[in-house]
Amino acid sequence: MDTTPETRARMSRQRSRDTDVEMALRRALHASGMRYRVHRKPLKGVRREADILFGPTKVAVFVDGCFWHGCPEHATWPKRNSEFWRTKIEKNQRRDRDTDERLAAAGWLALRVWEHEDPAEAAVRVRAAVKARQVATRGM
């Protein structure tokens, strides 16, 4: 079974950056006094971009869509063209794990926020991680 033209059109309209969830998280972080960069590559030579980047503390935040990244709570497996979609989503998951491992090896902390998470709660988690790394860096 091939993907229908309607499905192809719908999927092509899905934004990969500045999504509603990402914007809400950024607003919550900014309102709490956090300053950051958006859509930057944490590592040279690695073609992966963090949605939100805290350079001095080496914290990279990725806002992952439940469908595209295979959320254990909300992911759905399409019935039409199922093999294609399963392969695509599993490849995304492997790339995410590889990204996290590469960042960790370079001293970065990768934080993953699911699109279904409450942005205010996710902002508290991100802020706590950034602050903890600030304290750890000062102690060195």
| Residues 75-104: tens digit of each pLDDT | 888 888 889 999 999 999 999 999 999 999
From the number of C-beta atoms within 10 Å of its C-beta (0-12, 13-18, 19+), residue 38 rates as middle
pLDDT bin (cut points 50, 70, 90) of residue 136 is: confident
Give this prediction's pTM.
Answer: 0.86
Using CA atoms, how far apart are residues 77 and 13, in angstroms rounded to an integer?
A: 19
Using CA atoms, how far apart are residues 125 and 26, in angstroms rounded to an integer?
A: 13
Q: What is the reported pLDDT for 1?
A: 47
Strands 50-54 and 37-40: antiparallel
Res. 61: pLDDT tops 70: yes
Topology of domain 12-124 in CATH is Endonuclease; Chain A (3.40.960)
H-assigned helices in the chain: 5-12, 20-31, 66-69, 82-105, 119-138
Identity of residue 52: I
